[in-house]
Structure 1
Amino acid sequence: MTATLPAASGGFRFVPGVYQYSAGVAAEPGFRIERVRFADPLSMAEGFARIAAALEAAGRPKAAFCACELRSPAPFTEDGFAAFNREYGAVLTEWGIFLDGKNPVARSNVCPEIAPPATPSFHAFSYTVPDANAAPSFVVAGSGESAEGKSSYREHTVALGDLSPAGMLKKGQYVLGEMERRMQALGFAWKDTTGVQVYTVHDLYPFLGSEIVKRGAARHGLTWQFCRPPVRDLEYEMDCRGVAIERVLPAA
C-alpha cells in the first residue's frame, strides 16, 4: 500500500501521484475537508482568483487548497495535456503548493460532451478547515482506465478502442480497482464515501449492478456525468469523496 505524505501547513496528507495531481488527500486529525462547487464553471484565471479569495475569507492559507475538479472543452492530445498541466502547475508553484517537488493537490479534469466550457475551467474545489471534532474526510482524485506516470496514456490504456460491453467492463473494473487502491492508501473504503462520480458517454448499465453497486460504490447513489476523460482514447473515469460539508458558491 502506498504511504501517504503530510502537507502539514495545509492540514492534510496525500497519496503521491504524478506532476499534475496527487492520487488523493485526507484531512489530518483536527481538520475537516469542505467541498465548494461553483454555480457555473469559471475560467482557470478567475477560478484561481475566487479560490484564493475564498481561502482568505475563511482565514485559511493557500496551502489548505487540497483538491479541485476541472472541466475542459474537449479531450486533449497527450502533448496538449502536458502543456495544460504545466500552466496549471505554474500557479501551484507560485502559491508554494509543491512539497519537495511533489504535488499534494488531488484533481479531476473531464470534458462535458454537451455544452462544454469555452476554455479549461474550475467546477469545484476542496480545502481544509480546523475542526477539533471533525469526522475523517477525504477526496480521491479522478482516474481513467490507464496507468499514470508512464511514457504515454495510450500505450497503457485498458481495452484501448474497445467500446463493446466487454471492453467497457474491463475499463470499469480497472478504474474501480484504482479507486479502491487510493482509498485504501488513505485508510478508507466505499463505506466511507459520501459522493461517487463516474464520467463517461458510454453505457455503464451492463456492469452498474454487478460491479459498481455490488462493491458498495453506489451506497448513496451514483452521480453519472456525461463527460469524457481529459485525454483522447480514454473513455471512463471516476472519483469519490467522503466529505460532510459541501456548498455552492454563487456567481460573483
Structure 2
Amino acid sequence: MSDRFAAFRALHRPGRPLLLPNAWDHASAAALAAAGHPAIGTTSLGVAAAHGLPDGTAATGAQNLALARLLAPLPVLLTVDVEAGFSDDPAEVAAYVAELAGLGVVGINIEDGRADGRLADRELTAAKVAAVKAAVPGLFVNARTDAWWLGVADPLDQALARGRAYLAAGADGIFAPGVTAPEDVRALVAELAAPLNLLHRPGGPGPAELGRLGVARVSTGSLLFRAALAAAVGLADAIRGGAADPLPDVPSYARVQALSTERPSLG
C-alpha cells in the first residue's frame, strides 16, 4: 500500500493538478481507465442514485464496499467517497475504511456536510480523520469541508479553521467544493500548505487555470454521471421523435463487453 500511496500522492502537483474523474459503476470506471486516467474516484451521488438511494444519508456503505471489490482489479489508483464515514463513531469509520484499504483502495474523501444542511462538529470530523490515519497510515485522506457548498456565513474562515484541524489530525489533502473566487483559492493554498482539491464546474475555470492558482487536484464529482443520464434521455427522446440519431462516438457492443472481461491489475 505504501508504494501506491506514494504514487497517488505524487499525482497531486500544485500548479499541475490531477484531473480525477469520478465513476459510479464498473463500466464507467473501466472506460475511464481504458482512456488512460491513472486515478479514478467514485461519486457518492452516482453510486447512491444507481442503487435507488439518497446521497449523503449514510445509506450506501455496503454498496461502496461492493463497488470497491469490483473496481479493485482495474489498472488505476482508486479513491472512494465515503460521505461522512457512514457513522459518527470514529472507530467504526476507521474499521470501515480499513476494509476498503484491504481491497486495494488508495484514498478516501470524507466530508463534514450533513444531510440536514449543517456542518458537522469540526472536532468530530477531525477525530474521524485521526482514527482513519491511525488505522491505515498508508491511505490518502482527502478531508472535505462543505463551507461553500452549504452556504454558511464566512465560508473562507470556516474552511481555513476546519482545514487546519483536519490537517492536524492527519489529513493528506483538503477538498473545498463550491469555492470559486480566485482570492479564496489562493488563501486556501497559502494558508493550508497542503494539496487543495476543487470541483470542476461547467463554465468555470479549467484545470490549467486552477493550477495557476496552486490547486493540486480537480475532481469531476457527479458531473459525468449526470451527463450520462442527460445523454441517455436525450438520445431516447430523439429516437422517439423520429430525428436522425445524434450519436456521439459510442463504444461498440464488443468494446463494452471487453471492459467487463479484461481485468488487468496494477501489479
Identify the TM-score tier after normalising by the shorter chain: 0.3 to 0.5
Higher relative contact order, structure no. (Cα contacts within 8 Å, ≥ 6 residues apart): 1
Name the structure with the higher strand share.
Answer: 1
What TM-score, normalized to structure 2? 0.34
Larger Rg: 2
